[in-house]
Every structure is written in structure tokens, then in C-alpha cells.
Structure 1
Amino acid sequence: MHHAITLDALRVLNAIQQKGSFAQAAKSLFKVPSALTYTMQKLETDLGVELFNRNGQRAVLTEAGELLLAEGQTLLAAASKLEQKVRQVESGWETKLVISKDTIIANQPVLDVMQRFCLMDKHVEISLFEEALGGGWDALHSQRCDIAIGVTGELPKGQYEVHKMGEVEFVFAVANHHPLANYVGVLEAEQMFDFPAVVVADSARILPARSHGLFESKQIIRVQNMSAKIDTQVSGLGIGFLPRHLIQQQVEQQQLVIKTTYLHRPLIPVYIAWNKQQPGKALNWFIQQCKQQDWLL
């Protein structure tokens, strides 16, 4: 299919508008003015419209010309971006990178890594989304992400490379106005049973769902992420275990009170994981940076 509007014609139109005349535009494009005149006349003929008012010395666009230029600049920018992406792929840099972050990992360390990456000015589209419990492994398994940050639990054998980020301590916390806040001693099952337990839903779609820190309760409140769980417990609506590193501010401000319970939760190792296949340059950069990052655990 023949298109009257070509990238070359759009470049000529853009140059004429910027330089104000065919002669100056020709110099900037290293062409003779007659070549630009021919290109514009052919474009006008093919489109059946006039693009320039030819009454004065300066090349002035008609309304149709202004519309074509405005839309054409978007096409020129897209073409330039595409050219850069093609060259980038040839050099080993991916065009897209998808990061899965577990809900027990704070946002800021991940954003710090992303900010350092953006300073390199690589044309890589980065997607960041949040998973919970087995969701990070599930995202890797279903190829919904390239790297999973903060995965926990039993490590799959043979399929992934992993790097230990650290260990997360979970503490039992209640709101400062909750009936259990002033309880003295170790909380036993009978003291905890009458209050709703707040839990984060597993975001796994394919792999079996997991659960952590559950205890007997007459009611369960299920939320989508750790931020919602913290807010729910600060409100006094329910009780449960929370990552200590994510509630430091709430504890210092006495919004949450840490209590001792009959349940013992050991430190939970957390990992960065990615597929064993040879990573592209963008993924490899993220892997190395994540290994060095302070995750504030």
C-alpha cells in the first residue's frame, strides 16, 4: 500500500517550519532547495491539500499543514525511538524489563536501584509490580517477570539463580487502643481467638497458594498487600504478625504495640531470584545492583 505521507516528507516539513524557509531548511538537511520543493509539491498533490501559504517570503503553514506537522512530529519521535531500540537490542540491551517486588520489601530501595538505572539513559521500559507470599515465584514460573525481589519459602531446585538479601523479623503487633495493647504477659491462643486476624492474600495464580503466620481466630480479614495490613492493624480492626522493618515508624509513634505471643516465628530468609538462562545486559545490571543494595531489613 502506497502512503503519501513518508518519514522523509515529515522531516522536510519539520525542517521548513523550524528554519522558516525552504533555503535554510535545505541547508540543515544537506539538500538543495529544489529537492525540498519537489518533496512538498508531491506531498500536496498526493494529499490533495495545500500545506503552505505562498503569499510571503516566509514559509507559513496552512491549517492542514499545521495538523500534519503536529501529528507528524509524533511519528518522527516514534521512528527515532524505534531506531534506538533496534540498535540497543543489537548491542544486547533488552527493550523491556519486568520486576516483581514482594509486599514485605520496602519500596524505596527498589526505587533507588531504578533511579541509578535511569541515569544511564538506556531505552528500557521498566515495569514494577507487587506480589505476596508465593506470587514472586509464580511470576517467575509463568514468565510474568524477569527478576523477583523478596521471594521467600522453599527454593525451587535447578530452575532459578538466587541471592540472599537478608532476613525479615516478624513481630506480633496491635493498635495502641486495641484491647490487647495493655495485656501483661504472653498472649495465648484463648486471648487472641476473639479478635479478627489480618492476613495478606497470596497473589500466586498458578502455583499452590501459601500462608504465613496464621493463628486460630473466629474471623479473618484478607487484604492485598502489607501496606493495607499495616493500616488495618493500626486502625484496631484486627491483629497479626508484621515485618518489623516496615513498622518502625508506627512503633516509634506508638500507633502499634509489639506483644509477645505463644507463637514463635523464626527469622525468614528473603531472596532475589531470576531464571538461569543467560540474562540480557539490563537484567544483569539489575542483578548486580540488587546484590549490593541495602534493603533496610
Structure 2
Amino acid sequence: MDLRALKTFEACVRHGHFLKAAEELQYAPSTVTLQIQRLEADLGVSLFVRDGKRVIVTEAGRWLQHEASVLLKSIGAMRQTVSDIAAGDNGSVRFAAIEPVASQRLAGVIAHFCKTRPKVELTMEVGGSRSIAERVRAGELEFGVCSAPPSKLMLEFEPLIEERLGVMLNMNHPLADRDSITAGDLAGLTVLVKEPTCIYRELWETAIYPAEQNQFSCMEVGSFFVIQQMVKAEFGIGIVPIYSGLEQEGSLVIRPLANLNPVITIGIAYKDKNFLGKAALLLMEAIRASVNPSLHCQLHD
């Protein structure tokens, strides 16, 4: 059944006249007549009875007109949705990011994206770099904001920023007045660190812990927020990436580790841009522009 013929039929029923339907559709009158004749031949029924210059729809035609209207509206909605998806204004995006990048740098970007593209179904997860990379490789995520994935996963990786580890201190701590902290300053202290699968824990163990492990005790805490609250309660010091948003005026500060300066690169990991939807590409672009404006400008030069 020709959809154009159904559209012509629906217009003829509304107007009760082939000529007026032809004018609306910008068809020649003969084209309208031919399409209706072919539709009737295809169905094996008469859809109209002529009454002078007007046409009266038959019972079969009235039923078909109702069904055709529903179908044409559905097709119109399908066309609009497909167009919106192609423009990035509809569809779905699932991605993940590590903490504290997710809360400290991406929350505002995601909120703005959702406000400007309300039809896009966006899912943002928070996890560890290793699991994020593996899920991107498995196709469970469109992309991830994490550290560089292992080469064996064969993922593309766009570096965005370099992050440095620092020491979170309560303002009442004797070291809080220092501009920077050395590994030796941590002797005898309780150090709060993330779980072993966290990239910041890995960076800590690679850069500092092996040489200084006998000088202080470590306590594993699975959340930067919990570390923050424990330091605020004057229990231990925290090993965290340097983010001003993690500090609290009058109670918490973060000081850099001066003698070791451990650094890790955070970026966007994905399989192949050719398989990403427009909405995912636009979100990646928004993240680049927000997290690293200079890189965003270079990509567009």
C-alpha cells in the first residue's frame, strides 16, 4: 500500500473534493484521481461515491480514513524523531566518569546538556577507570572519562587534563600552614586512601608508598566524600587529587606533594567515533570545551 496514496486519500476525505485535495498536495488533479483508483484496485473496494463535483466516502472508506490518519501521524512522528536523533536532539547516551572528575568538573556540563536537549535519554555512571574502559570496549558505554586505558583494549583516548595528587588536611593540622607537603612530613600520621582499583590509589602506591610505607599507617576508604568528612572530623589526612571544590573554607585545605609531584592524565576513551550517535558526539564536545577549553580551541583550528 502506497503511503502517498494514503496521504492523498486522507486529504480527499477531509476536503470531500479531489480538486481541493490536489491543490493542498500540489498535485495535478489527474494524479489524485489515478492514486485513488490504484488504491481502490489494491483494496478491491470503492472508497468514494461521486455526488456531482463532490465525493462521499463509503463505509469502507470511513474506516480506512481513521486508520490512515493514525498511521500518517505515526509516520510523521517517526520522521521527526529520526531527524532529531540525527541532529543530536533525541536518542540515548550512556557514559561513565571517575570521581572526582564527575562531580567536580562534569556535573554542570551534564546539567546544561540535559536542559538544552531534554529529549536525549542520558545515563551517567560513576566508576573506576579500569571497569569504565572495559565497559566501553564491551559496547556497554558510548565513552568514558577516565585514565588512559590499557593498549590491549584497543580504545581511542583523547587526553584532557593532568591531575596531581595532594594531601587533604584539617585547618587545625600542623601541616595546614605549609605551601606544600613532602613524603617525609607524613611520618607517624594516619593516611586515608581510596580502594586498590582506584587510579589515584595506584598513583599513590607507585609514587610514594613503596619508599615511605614504614613511616605511616594507611586506612582504606572507598569514597572521597567519606575521606573529606573524616579529615574534617580531624581523623587522619587524605590523599586526593587537587580540586578546590574538595576544600572547605575554614575547615579543609589541599596541599601539593612537593618532592614527588605524582601526575596522571585523564581523558575521553571510546571505540570508534563512526559508531557514536550525534548526541554522544555533542556531549563529548561539551566535555572537552568545559574541562580543557584550550584543547577545544586547538581541535577547531
1:153 and 1:281, CA in 2 relative to 1: closer, same or farther beyond 3 A?
closer
Whole-angstrom CA distance in 2 between matches of 1:158 and 1:106: 23
SS of 1:237's partner is coil
* Equivalent residues of 2:191, 2:237 under 8 A apart: yes
Q: 1:289 aligns with which of 281, 286, 294?
A: 286
Whole-angstrom CA distance in 1 between matches of 2:180 and 2:110: 45
Amino acid at match of 1:280: G
SS of 2:151's partner is coil
1:121 and 1:184, CA in 2 relative to 1: closer, same or farther beyond 3 A?
closer
Q: 2:164 aligns with which of 169, 187, 192?
A: 169
2:247 paired with 1:256: no
Q: 1:212 aligns with which of 191, 203, 214?
A: 203
Whole-angstrom CA distance in 1 between matches of 2:201 and 2:180: 30
Whole-angstrom CA distance in 1 between matches of 2:166 and 2:180: 15
SS of 1:134's partner is helix
Residue 107 of structure 1: aligned partner: 103
SS of 1:292's partner is helix
Please state which structure has a larger fraction of its residues in helix: 2
Deviations 1:235-290 (A, max 9, x none): 2222232222245642x53523637565x133322111211152111111112222
Please say which structure displays the higher CA radius of gyration: 2
Residue 197 of structure 1: aligned partner: 191
2:220 paired with 1:229: no
CA RMSD of aligned residues (A): 4.3
Deviations 1:191-242 (A, max 9, x none): 63543321222568xxx99722132243422213x33332333322222322
Residue 143 of structure 2: aligned partner: 147
1:157 and 1:286, CA in 2 relative to 1: closer, same or farther beyond 3 A?
farther
Residue 88 of structure 1: aligned partner: 82
* Equivalent residues of 2:163, 2:241 under 8 A apart: yes
TM-score by length of 2: 0.55
* Equivalent residues of 2:161, 2:266 under 8 A apart: yes
Q: How far 1:294 sits from its partner (Å)?
A: 3.5
Whole-angstrom CA distance in 2 between matches of 1:209 and 1:107: 16
1:99 and 1:228, CA in 2 relative to 1: closer, same or farther beyond 3 A?
farther
1:141 and 1:288, CA in 2 relative to 1: closer, same or farther beyond 3 A?
same
What is the aligned length?
214
* Equivalent residues of 2:136, 2:270 under 8 A apart: yes
* Equivalent residues of 1:84, 1:123 under 8 A apart: no
* Equivalent residues of 2:148, 2:269 under 8 A apart: no
1:265 and 1:171, CA in 2 relative to 1: closer, same or farther beyond 3 A?
same
TM-score by length of 1: 0.56
Amino acid at match of 2:240: L
SS of 1:223's partner is coil
Whole-angstrom CA distance in 1 between matches of 2:155 and 2:180: 44
